[in-house]
Structure 1
């Protein structure tokens, strides 16, 4: 996974210390709402929705759109924020520590066929909602929220 330049610059000052980051999860649904976009991460091999870090000054919904374009070559439109949660602390193989505030959006597919576009993923494809590949539990929870069509976001305790 490519590390953004602003994170590399921060790491020059703080080393491996804990870094608080804002990120997005993008739940992309097809027009019929029968499939969702999934990618296989190059770093872990896990199937997940597209995720990414919000750049400084970037609007979160715009970050979700950008990440989907960069990682899966799709044009999408954000529909709504569906969840806000703090993720557990992560320690990367190089010793860097980070913790993420995750803003999860549901997005509508407008154009394109999924493909791994930037090297962060080895596969990108549509998955039937009733036959998702194995993936970490939080992503299944977020996909379920996207399908509920609730107008308000869920704020995890």
Structure 2
């Protein structure tokens, strides 16, 4: 589902004004060592390669949101194991004029089961990519992946 119903309802009230939302980035890996792979999707709206991302629903636990988004978008079951990074993304304006800014929570996730497939229309591709041969990603997405795969025990916080 591209835009959650509650966001559409808010948009009816506030129009294109800035909307503060909580988002998740689910960095899902499988395998070990040199065989380790990253779950990658290709966004239908921009064509960009990214890890799975999405919006936390009202009252939803963020780790549950990360797991839900992976299942909804890529048809893969994963478990969020660690909060890796908390950051505020720059304000953005969508093509329709809607303005939004996200608190992004990056989770390190472990693969459980499933074969990647673009499951909900938000992506045109979903696949496993070797960590040493990832498709081109924005610097921001590469930083999210790096934070999740850093092996650090505590989350990173921007200041």
**Which aligned pairs between 1:107-122 and structure 2 lie closer than 5 A?**
107-122=109-124
Question: In structure 2, how many angstroms separate the alpha carbons of the residues matched to 1:144 and 1:154?
Answer: 11
Residue 31 of structure 1 and its aligned partner are, at CA, apart by: 3.0
Question: In structure 2, how many angstroms separate the alpha carbons of the residues matched to 1:135 and 1:148?
Answer: 18
Superimposed CA distance per residue, residues 87-141 of structure 1 (whole angstroms, 9 cap, x where no aligned partner): 0111011110000000000100000111100000000001111111011112211
Partner of residue 11, structure 2:
11
DSSP-derived class of the 1:17 partner: coil
Partner of residue 44, structure 2:
42
The runs of 5 or more residues in structure 2 that have no matched partner are none
Q: Does 1:83 align with 2:85?
A: yes
**Which aligned pairs between 1:17-36 and structure 2 lie closer than 5 A?**
17-32=17-32, 34-36=36-38
Residue 144 of structure 1 and its aligned partner are, at CA, apart by: 1.6
The runs of 5 or more residues in structure 1 that have no matched partner are none
**How many residues are aligned here?**
157
**How high is the TM-score relative to the length of structure 1?**
0.97
**How high is the TM-score relative to the length of structure 2?**
0.96
DSSP-derived class of the 1:8 partner: helix
Residue 147 of structure 1 and its aligned partner are, at CA, apart by: 2.2
> What value does the CA root-mean-square deviation take over the aligned residues?
1.0
